Structure 1
Amino acid sequence: MSAASPSPIIERGTTTSRIAAIAVVIIIALLATAPQFLSAGAVDRMTALFIYVILAAMWNALAGFGGLVSVGQQVFFGLGAYFAIRLADAGLNPFASLFVSAVIVGIVSWPLSLFMLRLRNGEFAIGMWVIAALTHLLVNLDRLVQGETGTSLISLNVYDTGTRRTVIYWLALASMTALLAILFGLLRGSTGAAIRAIRDNEDAAASVGVRVTGTKRLLFVLAAFGIGIAGALWLATSITFQPKTYFNVQWTAYMIFMVLVGGIGTFEGAILGALVFFLIETWFGGTGVWYLVGLGATAVLFSLFLPRGLWGTIEERFGLHLLPVGYRVRFPGNPTTALDGDAPLPRQTTQHQEKA
């Protein structure tokens, strides 16, 4: 009689992930004190990095975890900046207007989701791009904006340059930290399991009681809110607002690039992808059109040879999970084989390896 097969081991947190969590807290604390030691230019660049992390994490949440691929997320980036301009012009403190504008973007995204989430796959992706283009045209009609001439967040000029730079840095760091924490907590709970179930098979998820529409709407609004904050913070760093810049599809292209390179559907991948994009931009951003050509070529190469991105490949080969949001099923005697709740399941797989 053959021996009974050993039971699989279900794990989430590991010693490595606990050490990583402590390291994250230390890194954030160090970043909070960084303006005292960094040059003005370095502070501005770090602020840009925090914004890139927000953009990558929000698009990854929507597409990587939720399966909602959009090429029109620049609509929320642009609206975040636009509403900040409008609120500041109405007399609200410019720093407060950055976050109030993001709240308004989140509110606006809710009725938008009522009909956009009826679309699937390519229809949803193109539909979001159409919404972004229409919104761009509507914003141009605002007399305050003056069409493509644009306007400025002039109320920030009452603060001296050093104070303004430091405050914006801290606001960007706090926003990035808060949004990543909210997303991490959401994905680790039952809602996160529902989100990934919908991504893997929407009909199957609905058949076992998952509230498909409500869950997708929650993710849609969260992504809009986060990208709205990113747009408002970018406005604060640049002061000027031109609709053609903020509603440009290049912002979504950057999001897609960061997520594809870092690892779509992995929490750490979006952060790593944002860092890679930041370094490429820092080193090669001054090369003009060749910089954009290089970004496109890099994205194509990763799609062909590293389809799971940098972090996805590291997870696959070494089983390393620093910030796990799903459960892993490990089989004794074959420690390299595991089904991980963070990554999309193969199309032919019908099992779902996570607990709601």
Structure 2
Amino acid sequence: MNSSNLFSEKNIGPFQLKNRIVIPPMCQYSAANGQATDWHLMHYGNLALSGAGMLIVEATAVCPEGRISYADLGLWDKNTAQALRKVVDFMRLHSSMPLAVQIAHAGRKASTDLSWKSDDYLPADSANGWQTVAPSAIAQSTGGTVPHELTNAEIKIIVEQFAEASARAIAIGFDMVELHAAHGYLMHEFLSPITNKRTDEYGGSLENRMRFPLEVVDAVRAVLPANTAFGVRISATDWIDRGWDLSQSIVFAKELDKRGCGYIHVSGGGLDGGLQKLPPLQSGYQLSFAEALKKEVVMPVIGVGLITDPFEAEKAIAEEKADFIAVGRGMLYDPRWAWHAAAALGGQVVAPAQYLRSSPHPYKDLFV
């Protein structure tokens, strides 16, 4: 009998996850004009067999200028939607795990080169660059162009783009969407007083700084059918003095809770790499934020923070620091991380019929 907390079932919205392991969004920088390629078929086909409870596809832009790099996925028209549908259909051939996709706009952190090349920001007048946008015309301390300050009319357009991309995501077969309000991208830029210096209704007070992200949430919720769910990923802190912090995150999370948010995915940092002061990076270093938010909201909480040891993930769930644990880079390194965790913890994991014979002799009950 399974006694592992990590391998117990729990729902997000109407979807029952077989365990508490979530594969978070991890950009692949391998799209062509926003369209998924064969790399995505191989990459996500592999992860779909991982045994995790849920898979969230990488940041997918609501418009071309909302991409992080020129090789990011998009969901802004029928061509990008059709290309990504092939990936969803491919995963569905042999996996029934709930699938989500992260809907995003990179804001001033857009127009970059590929991460494994230089990770540099590309000038607006370069072949693969473009003019970035943000709540305020403030460049990052680490580079990038001075972004165009969005007008109120342009903000409304982006809100609609989030809604349209989310509707496309559900139409092509995703179960859920995750709205990206973390890591210094556009929604986070509006939340943080470091990047939002506006003096209109979208800036200044916490209520005003939350206005754009909550307008996005309301617009997305309005177009999603009742049999689905949406989540929001946040940075609980900027790790910058007088920036966005946990107390503000709690207020924001409560507003999301009121709006029927299906889950909150709690990360940290990313607003400005030159200004942030990170603590020592160690396993679970951001779990305290998830734990604090879990005490304040009804919706499930996904915790993150360099967690690669199954026993540490088990402990986090047992101690109610989070409802789910996101395993990102660890899953790239070992796409069967969930299998190995189940073996170590005495849990069970879903595996394709073709692989059932592969369970090691001591773990004959490993696979469902």
Q: TM-score, normalised by structure 2?
A: 0.27
Q: Which has the higher contact order (CA 8 A, sep 6+)?
A: 1
Q: TM-score, normalised by structure 1?
A: 0.27
Higher percent of residues as helix? 1
Larger-Rg structure: 1
